[in-house]
Amino acid sequence: MITTTLHPGRDGAGVVKRTVLPGGLRVVTETMPTVRSVAVGMWVGIGSRDEAPEHMGATHFLEHLLFKGTPTRDAMEISASVEGIGGEINAFTAKEYTCYYARVLDEDLPIAVDVLADVVTSSLVTEDDVESERGVILEEIAMHDDDPSDVVHEQFAAALYGDSPIGRPILGTVESINALGRDRIAEYYHRYYRPLRTVVSVAGNVRHEEVVELVMRAYERSGALTGPVDYAPPRTSGPGAPARSGVRVLDRPTEQANLVLGTTGMSRTDDRRFALGVLNAALGGGMSSRLFQEIREKRGLAYSAYSYTSAYADTGQFGIYVGCLPSKIDDVLKICRDEVARVVADGLTEDEIVRGKGQMRGGLVLGLEDTGSRMSRIGKNELVYEELLSVDEVLARIEAVTADEIAGVAADVFNRPLTLAVIGPYGDKDFSGAIA
């Protein structure tokens, strides 16, 4: 067991400590002495990106199954134990990791740790549960499919990465879910859900040593804490995902067209990610951004119009999303193309850079006031990065971005071939001109 202070904090607040336990289980905590709640996350470094094509959706299917029962708790007891004390418990599956989390009053921390450790280490994954949960997941897929703004993002990933693991839907498809058997999912669980790939993160009014104690007690019951004090390094690559350029149109009788226009962005370790962040803020990060001003404020062409970035171990996305009446899509696409070209040609103004930095800075600080967001920051960070940047260090990196760096990033990213995904009542309308 090795304990390190990752950040000394200030006046007892913001102290981040990490302990590595036998088997490689990591426990990271951050002290927030003035709050009454505590957030607990158990992060497993396995996501939909690790699935073979024929097991598409297995990671997410498993996430559901973990709430169905352990040797000591059935599904009702799992949820009731946390909800009965006013807490919440849930989970989500991403492309590169899966997270189980709870938020409770600080005096209830032992319950949250115990229940989450129980589901993560000791779920039964029975045949009956697989069958009943299959129905729930098919419902989730159908629900998703009824939301065009969800579907268009999935279509964009598919267009950008093709039929590679990172381009496939996290939920899987009706066919892949119907084909998944209990044994395959259970095997997946026992192979991947190991302490060496797990991070427990806790933020709130807690003592690190007490959290470590609680985690050890909960994990020891399952016999998981054996082996060297050694954990899996962050993922640095993934199964090949050659980015493509192309157009993907889904003909749907929706009231609005939904579109994502974009290209590859940057991996999460790319040093230029802070410059891309400022660029993204200025281009489509808020109501004062160029895209919002042009598309919505000046022209009234859309209600929702924004740009975003997402980052993985070895790649990333930059995308512009707009929802607009079908008849307006050509105007909207033209504005998007023009604004991107204008940034490449002229960079950002000094005002925009100042505002973009202010937006990132304030968003970071304002976004870290609650226990849930602090827990997520340290937990995800521990899983995917070699080191933890303090909030002050991140702020300094944002501040240090120069106009030249932004111009360089714009020239690099926006000169990559574009990809477009569209959903709307378009029949076989040809959008290939929009990315040419």
CA-based nearest residue to 66, from 95, 85, 46: 46
Q: How far is the CB of 108 from a copy of itself (least distance, A)?
A: 8
Select which of 63, 96, 133, 382 is catalytic.
63
Contacting range for a copy of itself; rule: CB under 8 A; set: 19-27, 67-75, 182-190, 405-413: 67-75
Residues 234-293 that bind a copy of itself (CB under 8 A): 253-256, 286-288, 292-293
- CA-to-CA dists, residue 42 to 91, 184, 198, angstroms: 9, 23, 7
d(C-alpha 27, C-alpha 201), whole Å: 6
In the complex with a copy of itself, the residue whose CB is nearer, 126 or 267, is 126
Residue 422 token pair = 């569209």
Q: If binding is defined by CB under 8 A, does position 310 make contact with a copy of itself?
A: no
Residues 78-97 that bind a copy of itself (CB under 8 A): 79-80, 83-89
Q: How far is the CB of 363 from a copy of itself (least distance, A)?
A: 6
What distance lies between CA 329 and its chain's CA centroid? 29
Q: If binding is defined by CB under 8 A, does position 139 make contact with a copy of itself?
A: yes
Q: H/E/C letters for each residue in 159-210? A: HHHCCCHHHCCCCCCHHHHHHCCHHHHHHHHHHHCCHHHEEEEEEECCCHHH
Tell me if residue 318 falls in helix, strand or coil.
strand
Per-residue x/- marks for a copy of itself, 14-43, CB under 8 A?
--------------------xxxx------
In the complex with a copy of itself, the residue whose CB is nearer, 245 or 288, is 288
387 is catalytic: no
In the complex with a copy of itself, the residue whose CB is nearer, 105 or 179, is 105
Residue 46 token pair = 């396995």
Cα–Cα–Cα angle for 30, 34, 37, nearest 5°?
70
Task: Say which residues have a Cβ less than 8 Å from residue 35's Cβ, sequence separation at least 6.
Answer: 106, 204, 205, 370, 371
Per DSSP, 326 falls in state G
d(C-alpha 173, C-alpha 175), whole Å: 5
Binder among 50, 96, 118, 133 for a copy of itself (CB under 8 A): 133
Per-residue x/- marks for a copy of itself, 151-170, CB under 8 A?
--------------------
* Overall residue count recorded for the chain in this entry: 436
Task: Say which residues have a Cβ less than 8 Å from residue 137's Cβ, sequence separation at least 6.
Answer: 57, 60, 61, 64, 171, 172, 177
In the complex with a copy of itself, the residue whose CB is nearer, 68 or 168, is 68
Per-residue x/- marks for a copy of itself, 348-387, CB under 8 A?
------xx--xxxxxxxxx--xxx----------------
Per-residue x/- marks for a copy of itself, 406-435, CB under 8 A?
------------------------------
How many chain residues touch a copy of itself (CB under 8 A)? 72
Q: How far is the CB of 401 from a copy of itself (least distance, A)?
A: 15
Q: If binding is defined by CB under 8 A, does position 400 make contact with a copy of itself?
A: no
Residues tagged active-site: 63
